[in-house]
Chains A and B, each alone.
Chain A
Amino acid sequence: MSAFDRPRFLRVFVAVFFVFLFAPIALVILFSFNSSRSLQQFDGFSMRWYETFFESESLRDSLIASIEIALVTMLIATVLGTMLAYGLVRARTRWSDTANVLMLVPLVTPEIVAGASALLLFTQVGLELSLTTIIVAHITFSISYVTVVVRARLAALGRQVEDASMDLGATRWQTFRLVTLPALWPAIIAAGLLCFALSFDDFVLSFFTTGESPQPLPVRIWTEIRFGVRPTINAIGSFMLVISILSIGLALLLPRLLGRRESGLKVLLGREAA
Chain B
Amino acid sequence: MTSAIRFEGVTKTFGDYEAVKELDLEIQKGEFFSLLGPSGCGKTTTLRMVAGFELPTTGHIHLEGEPVEAVPPYKRNVNTVFQSYALFEHLSVADNVAFGLKRRKVAKEEIRTRVGEALELVELAGREKAKPAELSGGQKQRVALARALVNHPAVLLLDEPLGALDLKLRKQMQVELKGIQREVGITFLYVTHDQEEALAMSDRIAVMEEGEIRQCGSPEEIYEKPAGPFVAGFIGVSNLLPGENGGQISVRPEKIWLGSLEPGMSSLQGTVVERVYVGTTTQVIVELDSGVRLVALEQNTASARADDRWEIGERVTLGWHPEHARELQ
Contact = CB atoms under 8 A, between A and B. Distances in A.
Interface in A179-229: 179, 182-183
A178 B74 CA distance: 14
Question: What are the 3 closest A-B residue pairs judged by CB atoms, nearest first?
Answer: A169-B103, A168-B100, A164-B86
Given A169-B100, A274-B133, 5 more contacts: A158-B86, A166-B72, A169-B104, A170-B99, A171-B72
B88 A161 contact: yes
B76 to A, nearest CB: 8
Contact of B84 (A158, A167, A183): A158
A169 B74 contact: yes
A273 interface: yes
B80 A261 contact: no
8 contacts: A160-B82, A167-B51, A167-B148, A168-B74, A168-B79, A171-B74, A174-B103, A183-B88
Given A158-B84, A170-B74, A171-B74, A183 B133 contact: no
Contact of A168 (B53, B72, B89, B151): B151
A171 B52 CA distance: 13
Interface string B55-96: 000000000000000001111001110101011111000000
Contacts of A164: 80, 82, 86-88, 147
Interface of B: 51-53, 72-75, 78-80, 82, 84, 86-90, 99-100, 103-104, 133, 147-148, 151
B88 A170 contact: no
A261 B78 CA distance: 33
B124 to A, nearest CB: 18
Nearest to A171: B74
Contacts of B147: 164, 168
A51 interface: no
Contact of B80 (A163, A174, A260): A163
A267 B82 CA distance: 26
Contacts of B89: 183, 273
A261 B72 CA distance: 34
A274 to B, nearest CB: 7
A160 B100 CA distance: 16
Interface of A: 158, 160-161, 163-171, 174, 178-179, 182-183, 260-261, 273-274
Contacts of A183: 88-90
Contacts of A163: 51, 53, 73, 80, 82, 86
A118 to B, nearest CB: 39
A161 B82 CA distance: 9
A123 to B, nearest CB: 47
A169 B98 CA distance: 11
B84 A179 contact: no
Contacts of A261: 133
A274 B51 CA distance: 29
B33 to A, nearest CB: 19
A261 B100 CA distance: 25
A184 to B, nearest CB: 10
A167 B133 contact: no
A158 B83 CA distance: 13
Contacts of B88: 161, 164-165, 179, 182-183
B280 to A, nearest CB: 38
Nearest to B157: A167
A160 B74 contact: no
A183 B87 CA distance: 11
Contacts of A168: 74, 79, 99-100, 103, 147-148, 151
Given A163-B53, A167-B51, A171-B74, A182 B133 contact: no
Contact of A167 (B79, B90, B104): B79
Contacts of B53: 163, 166-167
A166 B86 CA distance: 12
Nearest to B80: A167
B265 to A, nearest CB: 52
A160 B48 CA distance: 11
B149 to A, nearest CB: 12
Most chain B Cβ neighbours within 10 Å, of A164, A166, A273: A164
A165 B99 contact: yes
A161 B86 contact: yes
Nearest to B78: A167
Nearest to B147: A168
A170 B76 CA distance: 11
A158 B52 CA distance: 18
Nearest to A170: B103
A274 B151 CA distance: 29
A78 to B, nearest CB: 19
Nearest to A168: B100
Given A182-B90, A261-B133, A166 B74 contact: yes
A164 B87 CA distance: 8
A62 B148 CA distance: 57
A274 B133 CA distance: 8
Contacts of A178: 99
Nearest to A174: B103
Contacts of A161: 86-88
A150 to B, nearest CB: 16
Most chain A Cβ neighbours within 10 Å, of B51, B87, B99, B151: B99
Contacts of B103: 168-170, 174
A271 to B, nearest CB: 15
